[in-house]
Amino acid sequence: MAVHSQTTTIVTSQHVSSGTWTTGICDCCSDMSTCCCALCCFPCMQCQTVSQFGWCFCMPLLDCCMVVSCCLRQKMREQYNIHGSCCDDVCTLCCCYPCAWCQMSREIKIRAHSGSVVTQQITHS
């Protein structure tokens, strides 16, 4: 009796649209872990966020006059093709600094998890 096996490849794509932030400035309920981390230790959340983006983790500790925050937000907009301007970034950070950082953290997490997932299934007949 011969056993035949067949391999099936399944590709699942999760696409994040460009042009806008994937979450709003006040969408803390969409990722409670980020908001809780920011509430408990805001500098830790900032360091984790820049580290996940590929920058030196200590950059937020040097954030005089929101220079690092504005630069990070601008670089994220450029990398993820999000519409906006430097003026928008400054206004957002001035109005709600912690919420802007939580939004940037969520964006990095969401963009890191988007893409294609390839799975293979082997069936025996």
Per-residue model confidence as pLDDT tens digits over 64-82: 899 999 999 999 999 999 9
3-state helix, strand, coil in the chain (%, to 5): 60, 20, 25
Does 104 map to a domain? yes
Exposure of 62 by Cβ count < 10 A (0-12 exposed, 13-18 middle, 19+ buried)?
A: exposed
Does 2 map to a domain? no
**21 has pLDDT over 50:** yes
Parent domain of 47: 26-113
If you ran DSSP here, which 8-state letter would residue 2 be given? -
Does 120 map to a domain? no
Does 53 map to a domain? yes
Does 5 map to a domain? no
Q: What is the pLDDT of residue 16?
A: 65
Does 13 map to a domain? no
| Number of structural domains in the chain | 1
Which tens digit of pLDDT belongs to each residue from 100-121? Answer: 999 999 999 999 887 644 555 6
The whole-model pTM stands at 0.77
Give me the mean pLDDT over the 1-22 stretch: 66
Does 41 map to a domain? yes
Does 1 map to a domain? no
Q: What is the pLDDT of residue 53?
A: 95
